Chain A
Amino acid sequence: KQEVTQIPAALSVPEGENLVLNCSFTDSAIYNLQWFRQDPGKGLTSLLLIQSSQREQTSGRLNASLDKSSGRSTLYIAASQPGDSATYLCATRSNDYKLSFGAGTTVTVRA
């Protein structure tokens, strides 16, 4: 059974600082890994999708890396803004037609 862990559980930074969010998983036999953002009481917004054959994926200020062999992914958010305040979730997809989620990292960016 896939176990996904996200550290830290919460993070508070001043505006402009770079964010580093970590995700680890126990079973390296994944097809891909997806990072999501969730605002309070809302659904999930997909940020980045990294295929198992890729090492990283970038979109604007966001960059995600994947090291499948060590079971780790890192999401970097450059030059954080108050609008980046949200909960960030990582999820792996394996061959069982479901996503396995971490508990998330709640980010607060102070103006």
Chain B
Amino acid sequence: KAGVTQTPRYLIKTRGQQVTLSCSPISGHRSVSWYQQTPGQGLQFLFEYFSETQRNKGNFPGRFSGRQFSNSRSEMNVSTLELGDSALYLCASSAAVGNYGYTFGSGTRLTVV
């Protein structure tokens, strides 16, 4: 079956702009999580959505937001981009039932100039 699909793969934005990233989970998976990966901070949790509800949020400023649609697809938005937002943004999908694991997408590489 199809894996986790993230679009776009690469983005270059200017400081102050906003950006929207998209994630389509594995069919049947109702949970989508987002992570930011940078060389200095490693993998940091942004937020998790289950059935359109945010269940947990990481320690990021309010410029970072997300949502999940009824078909489980998720988007994350970053407003007023800063140079430090340059990172690989990874989306993970899970069944969120029982002792589940996570499947990650290939990521979106965001560069802020």
Q: Using A98-B33, A98-B56, A101-B42 as known contacts, say yes or no to A44 and B90 having CB atoms under 8 A apart.
A: yes
Chain B residues, CB < 8 A from A32:
99, 101
Interface residue? A76 (CB, 8 A): no
A99 touching B102 by the CB < 8 A rule? yes
Q: Using A96-B56, A97-B31 as known contacts, say yes or no to A43 and B105 having CB atoms under 8 A apart.
A: yes
- Bound Cα distance A103, B42 (Å): 6
- Residue of A at shortest CB range from B41? A103
A98 touching B99 by the CB < 8 A rule? no
Interface residue? B64 (CB, 8 A): no
- Bound Cα distance A34, B31 (Å): 17
- Bound Cα distance A99, B6 (Å): 19
- Bound Cα distance A52, B92 (Å): 21
Q: Which of A34, A42, A51, A52 contacts B102 (CB 8 A)?
A: A34
Chain A residues, CB < 8 A from B99:
31-32, 51-52
- Bound Cα distance A104, B33 (Å): 20
- Bound Cα distance A34, B103 (Å): 10
A99 touching B33 by the CB < 8 A rule? yes
Chain A residues, CB < 8 A from B102:
34, 46, 91, 93, 99
B43 touching A101 by the CB < 8 A rule? yes
Min CB distance B89 to A, Å, is 10
- Residue of B at shortest CB range from A32? B99
- Residue of B at shortest CB range from A42? B106
Chain A residues, CB < 8 A from B58:
98
Closest 4 CB pairs of A and B: A49-B101, A44-B104, A43-B106, A101-B43
Interface residues of A (CB under 8 A from B): 31-32, 34, 36, 41-46, 49, 51-52, 89, 91, 93, 96-104
Other than the given A31-B99, A44-B104, 17 more pairs (CB < 8 A) read A36-B104, A41-B88, A42-B107, A43-B90, A43-B107, A45-B104, A51-B99, A89-B43, A93-B101, A97-B31, A98-B48, A99-B33, A99-B43, A99-B45, A99-B102, A101-B43, A104-B42
Question: What are 26 A-B interface contacts by the 8 Å CB criterion?
Answer: A32-B101, A41-B109, A42-B107, A43-B4, A43-B104, A43-B105, A44-B104, A45-B104, A46-B101, A46-B102, A46-B103, A52-B99, A89-B43, A91-B43, A93-B101, A93-B102, A97-B33, A98-B33, A98-B45, A98-B48, A98-B56, A99-B33, A99-B43, A101-B42, A102-B42, A104-B42
